[in-house]
Structure 1
């Protein structure tokens, strides 16, 4: 496993740009924009002269390590990397040569509005955005219930239907005809800058089109998006296991009564971690999509189990306001409901 990353520099970014604001993110719906920008400015989004296998390993590590401290921030990181993945695969000159460098430098941050589309391709929903061809581009109308990692200067990826096929494009949040409505009524992840998006004849020029064959293109993107969700659970689980070990060392007489197979849980997480990085080494992820989906289901079931054990081991401190253990419990329930959800994965 190769990770093209200065881990010491990334740890410093976490210490300086993330740790001081974790409670603010969780309790005040604060969006960790400065953290994401710092990661980009340090060069950790760059793909220049790197093999895609090494890029995947690096980005899995970024998500995993961030999730150890704050899954909200790790999820916003996942959103940006999802936008990056789509842009990197596009053959559109503007997307590839002008927008992609801005996304990789962290100067521009990206979100993803693909939840509805992924549910469509899973046979669960219809596409909620409609595109009509017009001179120089398309007009798009419809709505998306939840799009994360958005701010006034961000871009995000969407898929819209036109007749019998679909297009994928990347659009800025500051565009005529687009209305954003903030959503902060979640039990966790309120700092993820999530919005409902309403499109009223939004004009999208041809140069913003990632692909006009989204049905084929999404098959190349989807495996990476799902693979990058697995380290969300690994990071949170690791933090909970560390908390269990610390609590056990302080309260041995009490905690020996809690019948948790801690070593088994640690081995399970390590096995999933190893498998995740092995998946990243494949040249084409499409050939192992089923395995990736099954591992995504595994982590979605294992993470809540581990954070619950953390609550038991930590005892009464876990039930206090500002408790890291309780925050991780709420974050774990988000992972269960993140598309593809456990219900979708089990079907």
Structure 2
């Protein structure tokens, strides 16, 4: 069987699993805080987190573009769960490219297969590096490891039996990126205030008090960090496009269903389904090309940021259009269009948020103009 045939069968299996076992739970995940752990485990068994991970490391040996496609298919049924898929697959991406072998050996295979669920707590460091906010975790050297203090207000897909991958500032050295188990001594997990949606993402407040990080859990020491973050950032950002694509797909479904009875009046709305679908197809193709480059370590940052921003903008427009197409029904709390509205806003505010992306895009374009 060719690789393309294998990929096709994989995507069919992911779609079937999402429709059969995830779609019926979407409302409860969004509003009641149901964490879809059983579904995540089954998706992991299919390889749903390891498309871009080599086979010898527990993945499928495909590519980042395939991982984005998987996330998109999950997002077509539930945006919250698509976010969890991104969290898990991105932790695998970090581990795959970590310059230190010990955490790869210790965690990658289990994370790629969904045997060990994992959350990425890199929102604060990414915003800090973009000049948006101060770093929340600090570390001091302790032998060949570190002692970490501070708090991260929102980290998703974490828990007592999960792994989290985070970063801390090391005085006069730079930054250290490391993995920590949810049950580690010195780490406290606290509930967050109630969100308007996305309640089933198991998002917690992580508080570090004199937490000891051994060298075997360090993905990148300060002298390795700058090069490492440069390597993983394009994949980190591009992986989120799958969330946006999934929200658009779900919104297009609502538009099609609404047009079955109200196409004669819906034609007067902006952002028609055919127009949104064409724009989505073009954006997916662009993201796939960049994903291939990110896999090879050669993706240019500016186009990556622009594609991610476009995915946010398109999701917002598609979700709004779906609600308007549905009319009064779309204003019912139980209607999928209402959930899509919250999911689309989340795509636009999760790090890197739309305003963050636009800031980085402006910074890079200004630098390019000044250098010309």
TM value normalised by structure 2: 0.88
Contact kept? 1:53, 1:280, Cα under 8 Å:
no
Query: Post-superposition shift, 1:285?
Result: 4.5
Residue matched to 2:319: 307
The one-character-per-residue Cα deviations of 1:299-347 (angstroms, maximum 9, x if unpaired) are 1112111111111110111111211011001111111111111111222
Residue matched to 2:201: 192
Task: Look up the SS of the partner of 1:264 in the other structure.
Answer: helix
Contact kept? 2:47, 2:60, Cα under 8 Å:
no
Match of 1:183 among 185, 192, 197: 192
Residue matched to 2:300: 288
My pick for the range that moved more, 127-136 or 21-30, is 127-136
> Do the aligned partners of residues 8 and 264 (structure 1) sit closer, same or farther apart at CA in structure 2, a change above 3 Å counting?
closer
Distance 2:269 2:330 in 1: 15
The one-character-per-residue Cα deviations of 1:221-269 (angstroms, maximum 9, x if unpaired) are 1110100111211111111112112211212333234344433222111
Task: Look up the SS of the partner of 2:35 in the other structure.
Answer: coil
Distance 1:85 1:301 in 2: 25
Task: Look up the SS of the partner of 2:300 in the other structure.
Answer: helix
Distance 1:150 1:270 in 2: 33
State yes or no: 1:173 paired with 2:182: yes
State yes or no: 1:206 paired with 2:210: no
Residue matched to 2:253: 242
Distance 1:201 1:109 in 2: 24
Task: Look up the SS of the partner of 1:18 in the other structure.
Answer: helix
Query: Post-superposition shift, 1:24?
Result: 1.2
Residue matched to 1:6: 10
Contact kept? 1:177, 1:201, Cα under 8 Å:
yes
Residue matched to 1:146: 154
> Do the aligned partners of residues 105 and 257 (structure 1) sit closer, same or farther apart at CA in structure 2, a change above 3 Å counting?
closer
Match of 1:57 among 56, 65, 70: 65
Distance 1:343 1:16 in 2: 36
Task: Look up the SS of the partner of 2:167 in the other structure.
Answer: strand
The one-character-per-residue Cα deviations of 1:245-299 (angstroms, maximum 9, x if unpaired) are 2211212333234344433222111110111111122254554211010111111
Match of 1:69 among 63, 71, 77: 77
**Gap runs ≥5 in structure 2:** 360-372
Query: For residues 24-173 of structure 1, what are the structure 2 equivalents within 5 Å?
Result: 24-46=28-50, 47-49=53-55, 54-164=62-172, 165-173=174-182
> Do the aligned partners of residues 307 and 202 (structure 1) sit closer, same or farther apart at CA in structure 2, a change above 3 Å counting?
same
State yes or no: 1:326 paired with 2:338: yes
Distance 2:70 2:268 in 1: 36
> Do the aligned partners of residues 170 and 259 (structure 1) sit closer, same or farther apart at CA in structure 2, a change above 3 Å counting?
closer
Contact kept? 1:243, 1:310, Cα under 8 Å:
yes
> Do the aligned partners of residues 78 and 259 (structure 1) sit closer, same or farther apart at CA in structure 2, a change above 3 Å counting?
closer
**Gap runs ≥5 in structure 1:** none
Residue matched to 1:345: 357
Contact kept? 1:184, 1:190, Cα under 8 Å:
no
My pick for the range that moved more, 217-226 or 284-293, is 284-293
TM value normalised by structure 1: 0.94
Distance 2:275 2:129 in 1: 36
Query: Post-superposition shift, 1:184?
Result: 4.7
